[in-house]
Structures are given as C-alpha cells and as structure tokens.
Amino acid sequence: MPRRYRTLVALCLVFLLPVGLAWLTLQQGWFTTGVNNHGQWVTGQVAADSQWRLIVPQAANCAACSQAEPLLAQVILALGRDSSRVRQLFMPASAELEAGFVYIADPPGTLIMRYPLDGRLEQGALSSEPRQLELLQPDQIMAKALLSDVRRLLTYSRSG
C-alpha cells in the first residue's frame, strides 16, 4: 500500500472506528441507560395552585390511601428548606386520578408523575442501591423514590 493511502486509511479509522464501536455497543445491548426518574410519567390537569402538590386520590376501598398521610408528611419534612414549596392534597379519585397512587402536580396544575402506594416501582427504579433497598418496607421504597424526584423537580423549577 502506498504511503499516501496509509495516511488516508489511518485518518478514516481514527474517525470511523469510535462511531462503529458505539453503534455495536448499542446494537448488542452492552450499554444500558441510567434511570433519572423513579415514577411513571402521566398526563393530565388539576386546578392550578401556588405550590407543588403531592396528590393522593381517595377511594372508599383503598386501604393504602389512608396510610399515605404520615408517609407524605415525612417526605415533605425531609425536603428541608424546600418543604414550604410542597403540600399534600387529598382528592376524590377520578378518571385522571386513580386511587392507590401518589401524584406530583406542578403549580400550573399539570400532573407529572405517579407512584404506586404499594411500593412496586418500575423495573430499574432505585437500582443503584439494591442492598439498602432489601431492608426497606415497600412504602418506604416509594417514599424514597418520591423524595428523590421531588427534590430534582424543585431544584430545576422556578415556580412554586
């Protein structure tokens, strides 16, 4: 191979090899993306307010709904100085607000995420600490996930 072609081939390899390796990594499933949020994304609207809200839809046959009040109070207390920006709200269940979940709503009234009160989160949620999670009750796992996401939302939010 002539010398001028070696330089061209080397230059092509320098730029194309990383792209090819990245494509191969994604195609083979060798790379898994990280989880930033722990709840389930939802869409919907509730009445606007001046604060962020943790909404618990109430239903007559929901035992977990009545146990959510002290858990949400602890989550709000754990927010520290940001606790004045969030309040808990109990509403009757409806088509948009399914009983058995805790919803996060922003000040304009947009529903953002929901968390099951029984603590069964989606696969991969809070997977960075599997040993510590074995010691927690299901409602504590949900509270930890909720607290993590509310903190992140309040950090990046200018409203409420």
Reported pTM: 0.72
Instruction: For residue 94, report the phi and psi dihedrals to the nearest 5 degrees.
Output: -145, -170
Domain ranges of the chain: 1-31, 40-156
HEC string of 119-134?
Answer: CCCCCCCCCCCHHHHC
Percent of the chain with pLDDT over 70: 85
Q: Among all chains, which residue has been given the structure tokens 């953002």?
A: 112
Mean pLDDT (the chain, rounded): 84
Range list of H helices, 29-137: 63-66, 68-78, 130-133
pLDDT at 121: 62
Residues 92-114: tens digit of each pLDDT = 988 888 888 999 999 999 999 99
pLDDT at 152: 92
Question: Please, which pLDDT band fits residue 39 given cuts at 50, 70 and 90?
Answer: confident
Task: Look at the domain 40-156 and name its fold.
Answer: Glutaredoxin (3.40.30)
Q: How far is CA 80 from CA 75, 76, 127, in A?
A: 9, 8, 25
CB burial of residue 90 (10 Å; 0-12, 13-18, 19+): middle
pLDDT at 132: 52
Q: What's the DSSP call for residue 69?
A: H
Is 90 exceeded by the pLDDT of residue 78? yes
pLDDT at 114: 92
Residues 1-34: tens digit of each pLDDT = 677 788 888 888 899 999 999 999 888 888 777 6
Is 80 exceeded by the pLDDT of residue 131? no
Is 50 exceeded by the pLDDT of residue 83? yes
